[in-house]
Amino acid sequence: MKYLVKFMFIVLLSTSSYSQAYSKAGSFDYYVLALSWQSAFCEYRRGKPACRSQKKSDFSAYNFVLHGLWPNKKGRNGHRYGYCNVSKSIKWKDKKRRWCKMPSLNLSNSVRTDLNKFMPGTMSCLQRHEWYKHGSCSGLSENKYYEVSNRLVDLFSKTSFNKLVANNAGNYIRRSKLLRAFDQEFGKGSRAYLGLKCKRVRGKKLLTEIRIRLQKDLSKIDNFKDVLPTRRFKTMRGNCPSRFKIDAL
């Protein structure tokens, strides 16, 4: 029995050490940029403040919006890399989805204004959840992390890919068409960095989110092509069928 207890103690100790090492800020391989299609999100989250107030004049009506910018490790799924130097009390509030009870972020007025535009979820304090779970591991300050995030969303809104999706709002589209368009705009094989996420809502498969793998170094963000990986990673996973709908407001 004493040997079993000793073994369990060693396992717990090594697991704790691994967890601390695994969640060291800046020790990641790439980012994943998660962008939501707000109209589809609001089809199954109608009670959210941002969904109750969404208007056709909003940026979110015709552009992808920020879900999060996630540092991640090569070969890992589920975004287990997170909560770097975050207290247990904050993690507890986050896991209980008490986001507005978490400490506010130190953001400049300009970054906060842009974030309210590019991330409608700020009405539900999504920015706090994303910072403490993911941004804390970026090695950036709170303000710089969201300055970079805002810049990425703004740049992506100007892409032909974003316009293609917006122009097809209310219509069905083929997965192959979107993947081909991504390749054409960002280079052959770029589709490997794109994951298309769909959800069945009232019997229809809707595009709810896209996830794009980005390189770790985001110091230069003049063109969205600049932030795609310069080396090969595992192909991004998606769950969209061969044909699905782009929801319209």
The domain in which residue 45 lies consists of 29-245
Answer whether residue 146 is part of any domain: yes
CB-based contact 164:181 (threshold 8 Å): yes
Chain CA centroid to CA 166, Å: 19
pTM for the model: 0.90
Radius of gyration of the chain (CA): 19
Report the pLDDT value the prediction gives residue 77, as an integer from 0 to 100. 53
Partner residues linked to 69 by β-bridges? 33
pLDDT digits over 115-156, tens only?
Answer: 999 999 999 999 999 999 999 999 999 999 999 999 999 999
Cα–Cα dist 82/135, whole Å: 8
Report the pLDDT value the prediction gives residue 7, as an integer from 0 to 100. 40
Per-residue CA distances from 69 to 88, 147, 162, 218 (Å): 22, 11, 18, 11
CB-based contact 179:194 (threshold 8 Å): yes
Residue 153: exposed, middle, or buried by beta-carbon count in 10 A (0-12, 13-18, 19+)?
Answer: buried
CB atoms within 10 A of CB 71: 25
Number of domains in the chain: 1
Cα–Cα dist 234/181, whole Å: 20
Answer whether residue 142 is part of any domain: yes
Cα–Cα dist 135/94, whole Å: 13
Answer whether residue 4 is part of any domain: no
Answer whether residue 5 is part of any domain: no
Read off the CATH number of the domain in which 148 is found: 3.90.730.10
Q: Which two tokens stand for residue 23?
A: 């969640």
Mean pLDDT of 98-108: 98
Given a cut of 50, whether residue 178 has pLDDT beyond it is yes
Answer whether residue 144 is part of any domain: yes
Q: Which two tokens stand for residue 25?
A: 């800020």
Percent of the chain with pLDDT over 90: 80
Identify the CA nearest to 217 among candidates 229, 231, 233, 225.
Answer: 229
CB atoms within 10 A of CB 48: 18
pLDDT digits over 145-167, tens only?
Answer: 999 999 999 999 999 999 999 99
Secondary structure letter of residue 118 according to DSSP: H
Answer whether residue 3 is part of any domain: no
Answer whether residue 173 is part of any domain: yes
Q: Please report where in the chains the tokens 């300050």 appear, as a residue.
A: 141
pLDDT digits over 221-240, tens only?
Answer: 999 999 999 888 888 989 99
Answer whether residue 24 is part of any domain: no
CB-based contact 176:241 (threshold 8 Å): no
Q: Which helix (H) or strand (E) holds 205?
A: strand 204-215
Q: Which helix (H) or strand (E) holds 121?
A: none
Report the pLDDT value the prediction gives residue 76, as an integer from 0 to 100. 55
Given a cut of 80, whether residue 46 has pLDDT beyond it is yes
Mean pLDDT of the chain: 90
Report the pLDDT value the prediction gives residue 19, as an integer from 0 to 100. 45
Q: Which helix (H) or strand (E) holds 230?
A: none
Identify the CA nearest to 234 among candidates 72, 36, 67.
Answer: 72
